[in-house]
Structure 1
Amino acid sequence: MNLDEFQDKLVAYAHEIGIDKIGFTNAAPFFSLKHRLIRQQELNYQSGFEEPDIEKRTQPKLLLDEAVSIISIAIAYPSKMENAPTGKKGARRGIFARASWGIDYHTALRERLRLLEAFIAAHYPDARMRSMVDTGELSDRAVAERAGIGWSAKNCAVITPEFGSYVYLGEMITNLPFREDEPMEDQCGDCRLCLDVCPTGALIEGGQLNAQRCIAFLTQTKGSLPDEFRAKIGNRLYGCDTCQTVCPKNKGKANRIHEEFEPDPEIAKPLLEPLLNLSNREFKDRFGHVSGAWRGKKPIQRNAILALAHFKEQSAVPALIGVMERDPRPVIRGTAAWALGKIGTAEGLEALKQAEQRETDAEALEEIRKGLAFFAEELKG
């Protein structure tokens, strides 16, 4: 069997194992990406989660010295949730972004890439391969764009005609000279909905993202959330889908294809108040299988507190007072104090006054005083 015939067989096998799209490109350096990444660093737009070495991110041969081709894969994930619970007064709920529904996609894609590697090795024992998903050095989106999986949109996602932008991406570098697929033409046109509705203005003209302002990034940080973003996070616990849900190319793309990515409604839209006092073990047992748990419980709990403040949920005040008084983490104590001020009950005011006398951590104390300032502003009004 020649390589062309094998490539067709490989594509068919990829579909058999649950890969929805597969594309092939060369392993030449990503020169245009390199220029964008340099500019991103100059502007301090990077998140800090990326591979810091731009050369490794843009030169596949630094990752596999015999690199000739790159295989890009895409797996669709659902955009709709059946039987989604509705939050209400006294029982408010948060939300995980769609990319964190179901099992951790890193696990799912790595397993499929492992199967692809085994399939290739069975036919070409001398083949060399290196696979990666999300946390690898290469840009999944740049590879997918060049391999014809979809086009790079203004919201910085790869949009596929079949599944919209609701796709997970991964890639494999190899020394086999596969024939290349053609990149797609940009189909965003004059549409700028994603740019206009981004809650924090993180999307910059030309499809550039300031990750430091992106809610998807901010929900994963572990420190105190900057004041300007607290009112914008809403009830998001992990990630943000706004720039995807408004995209016309995603209209009608439910993508109910893979059972493993179907959300458990009580995990994807959990009650907020019970999250506040979860132990590490309880958090891992309940959320450990989803990608949104990778940073641990602290960001999720901080975001849950902000969500309760967003709803001004008075029934949560006793629980928030308990967090402010007893949680060992200053960021969580301080966020709870800020939330108590935002909710604005007499019980919360009294607890904040007492906490101000007791708190020894400077950051937490600052947040307590911010909470008290809400009451002072109310009196002035």
Structure 2
Amino acid sequence: MNYAAFKEDVISYSKKIGIDKIGFASTDVFQELKQRLILHEQSNYQSGFEEPDIEKRTHPELLLPQARSIISIAIAYPSRMENAPRSTREERRGIFCRASWGRDYHDVLRSKLSQLEEYIKETYPAALTKSMVDTGELSDRAVAERAGIGWSAKNCAIITPEYGSYVYLGEMITNIPFEPDIPLEDQCGTCNKCVDACPTGALVQGGQLNSQRCIAFLTQTKGFLPDEFRKPLGNRLYGCDTCQTVCPKNKGKDFHFHPELEPDPELAKPKLKPLLTMSNREFKEKFGHVSGSWRGKKPIQRNAILALAHFKDESALQDLQHLVKEDPRPVIRGTAAWAIGKIGGSGSMQFLLQAKEREQDPQAAEEIQKGIELLQKD
């Protein structure tokens, strides 16, 4: 087998199936990442969504014993939305981050990797492969950095020269000894805009993220959102793009290569009030194909309530009162009560006082009390 020629064939095929960038990396232990993950764990910066075994995250051969190289792929996604609907006083809207605008990227990249695997195995039947996207053991960013896809930036994203950081990443471990590509030099320089702009100070320093403070992570949690993060949340329903939108390397980067990644404006910027009473079935039918739906409707509904409080939308008070009275979930009842206190309005104090007498859940009752105190301040 002429591996150099085969590598060129794989690159050529990848372009035919819509992979925007491809790179090749060695399977050496990710030593620098390993030390960073140990520090990350000691500092309690992890989100809890990661693979907990640091050895598996940094030793490719534990995932594929015959591993000889890793193929990294990147697919560009849009940064701008055509015909984006406006949020009005009558119909306030929330926002999903750009990474959740189109069809779930996990499905899109897995399909591309599956096609690539088939091509490799047809050409080289002895090939062994293991592919992953985002939820796998390896760090997509560490692999992409080593494979020359882009550099690991201060905002903890991979920035490509061609597409900025608006790329999805995936990788394939294989037993084929492809020649590794050369990593790119870090081009962030002295720029610190992403660190300075982070709404919650989650970027502890360039390249290190405290996930517990990151809005992108917080929007996916299912419990009560801690008080200090409610104002910075704004009208975000899922994810956060601030550290990407302020990056100078992303200026003018907007690519519409893949129809399946194009946003439906009514889903990417949905009306908030209809989200409050949406059934599980309605939620799955409407949002089930986007990555932002993976945690179910509860976090989205909680965030929608907080967004209505952010806007101080008095037209939502009746819907919020209904949630406080009828919703079986303490997080939704309590958050709705807090939002009523934040919005105000005639009759809100009496309503919350009565709600507090009925409430059996201690955390929800605490939120109702917070709502009452907000009204007392006004």
CA–CA separation in structure 1 for the residues paired with 2:360 and 2:347:
22
SS at match of 1:22: strand
Aligned to 2:187: 187
Partner Cα distance (2:110, 2:53) in 1: 23
Q: Residue 106 of structure 1 aligns with which residue? A: 106
Q: CA deviation at 1:376?
A: 1.5
* 1:203 is the counterpart of 2:203: yes
Q: How many angstroms apart in 1 are the aligned matches of 2:253 and 2:206? A: 25
Q: Match for residue 67 of structure 1? A: 67
CA deviation digits over 1:174-230, x for unaligned, max 9? Answer: 000001110000000110000001000000113100000000000000000000000
Q: Distance in 2 between matches of 1:164 and 1:3?
A: 30
- CA root-mean-square deviation: 0.6
Q: Distance in 2 between matches of 1:317 and 1:291?
A: 30
SS at the partner of 1:354? Answer: helix
CA distances 1:319-351 after superposition (whole Å, capped 9, x unpaired): 000011100000000000000000011232221
Q: Which amino acid aligns with 2:146?
A: R
Letter in 2 for 1:135: T
Q: Which amino acid aligns with 1:28?
A: D
Q: What secondary structure does 1:120 align onto?
A: helix
Partner residue in 1 for 2:245: 245
State how far apart, in whole Å, the 1-side matches of 2:182 and 2:162 are.
16
Partner Cα separation in structure 1 for residue 100 and residue 167 of structure 2: 12
Match of 1:268 in 2: 268
Aligned residues: 378
Percent sequence identity is: 68
1:353 aligns with 2:345: no
Residue 3 of structure 1 and its aligned partner are, at CA, apart by 1.6
List per-residue Cα deviations over 1:51-82 (Å, max 9, x = no partner).
Answer: 00000000000000000100000000000000
**Equivalent residues in 2 for 1:137-148, closer than 5 Å:** 137-148=137-148
1:38-49 mapped onto 2 (5 Å cutoff): 38-49=38-49
Q: Which residue of 2 aligns with 1:342?
A: 342
Give me the whole-angstrom Cα distance separating, in 2, the residues matched to 1:227 and 1:324: 19
- TM-score, normalising length: structure 2: 0.99
Separation in structure 2 between the aligned mates of residue 218 and residue 271 of structure 1, nearest angstrom: 21
User: Which whole-Å CA distance do the structure 2 matches of 1:102 and 1:272 have between them?
Assistant: 19
Q: TM-score, normalised by structure 1?
A: 0.99
How do residues 37-186 of structure 1 correspond to structure 2 at under 5 angstroms? Answer: 37-186=37-186
Gaps of 5+ in 2: none
Q: Please identify runs of 4+ aligned residues in structure 1 that moved more than 4 A.
A: none
Instruction: Encode CA deviations 1:251-294: one digit per residue, 9 max, x unaligned.
Output: 00011111110000000000000000110000000000000000
Check the 8 A contact 2:87/2:93 in 1, yes or no: yes
Q: State how 1:281-320 maps to structure 2 within 5 Å.
A: 281-320=281-320
Whole-angstrom distance in 1 between the partners of 2:347 and 2:278: 24
**Alpha-carbon distance in 2 for matches of 1:361, 1:30:** 47
Paired residues of 2:103 and 2:290 also in contact (CA < 8 A):
yes
